[in-house]
Amino acid sequence: MQSVLLVEDEALIALALADDLERKGYEVVGPFHRCRDSLEWLARNTPDLAIIDIHLRDGSSADLAVALRERGVPFIVFSGERRDGQVSEAFADARWLSKPVSTRQLFGTVEEILPARAPVRLCAVAGTSIHAAAI
């Protein structure tokens, strides 16, 4: 299962995103509301993808963006902030979704970054062990 680090300071938005991601089969880590907390988690773990807001409860998520880039973790900026020359260089070249975003647009972007894995079906043949096969 692919994991998505979710960093969003608005609780209702975070819960809705987490629910949508879980229903699509992603393992959601978080949501974290502070950059500090997400950096502590990231020091011990590596997600497949991160979705981060720019403005968090303890300030900017620029340090998190830098850490994700250094670890080779792709991320999506999910923010009410418009993408223009006023944002930190840490967010340069990041995928950007401006709130509000439709679920379709969110998953279109996530799936461009994390191509869906082929579903796995367990197959058992009498007298043998169980094998996994892509379907």
Higher pLDDT, 67 or 128: 67
Please, which residues have CB within 8 angstroms of residue 69's CB and are 6 or more apart in sequence? 75, 90
Q: What pTM was computed for the model?
A: 0.82
113/91 Cα distance (integer angstroms): 16
Confidence at residue 69, expressed as pLDDT on a 0 to 100 scale: 95
Per the prediction, the chain carries an average pLDDT of 85
Task: Please give the tally of structural domains in the chain.
Answer: 1
Confidence at residue 66, expressed as pLDDT on a 0 to 100 scale: 96
pLDDT more than 70, % of the chain: 83
Q: CB burial class (10 A; 0-12, 13-18, 19+) of residue 81?
A: middle
Confidence at residue 81, expressed as pLDDT on a 0 to 100 scale: 74
Region of poorest pLDDT, from 24-38, 58-72, 104-118: 104-118
The DSSP symbol for 128 reads S
Domain containing residue 87: CATH number: 3.40.50.2300
**Range of the structural domain that residue 15 is part of:** 3-134
Average pLDDT estimate for 56-80: 94
pLDDT in tens, 75-115: 999 988 776 657 788 988 889 998 888 989 999 999 999 87
Average pLDDT estimate for 23-48: 96
